[in-house]
Amino acid sequence: MDYQEKFKKVQLSQPHCILGKKGITEDFIQHVASLLKRYKIIKIKALKSTANRSNIHFIAKQITEKTNSFLLDIRGRMIIVSKYQI
């Protein structure tokens, strides 16, 4: 399965993890890193209390910088990141 097919599959699936009201902590970053190592492409859902329209891009940038990953897509409060650039 190539990355384009995997990306489409992840787009339609349930989120792999949820960013809660505690925000981006070290535990969350470690969890995202382990999920990226396992799945290569993951979907993260940010709760309303954490993210809104103005700061979702900032949150996505922080996650990708701290996990050394690439941002693929942002839709609403859903963030899709990949270990490799597509």
- Report the chain's mean pLDDT, rounded to a whole number: 93
The domain in which residue 53 lies consists of 3-82
In CATH, what number is assigned to the domain containing residue 29? 3.30.110.60
List pLDDT tens digits, range 39-77.
999 999 999 988 888 899 999 999 999 999 999 999 999
Domain count across the chain: 1
Burial 22-59, CB ≥16 within 10 A → b, else e: eeeeeebeeebeebbeeebbbbbbbeeebbeeeebeeb
Q: At what angle do helices 26-39 and 56-67 cross, to 10 degrees?
A: 70
Tell me the whole-structure pTM to 2 decimals. 0.92
Token digits of residue 55? 């700061």
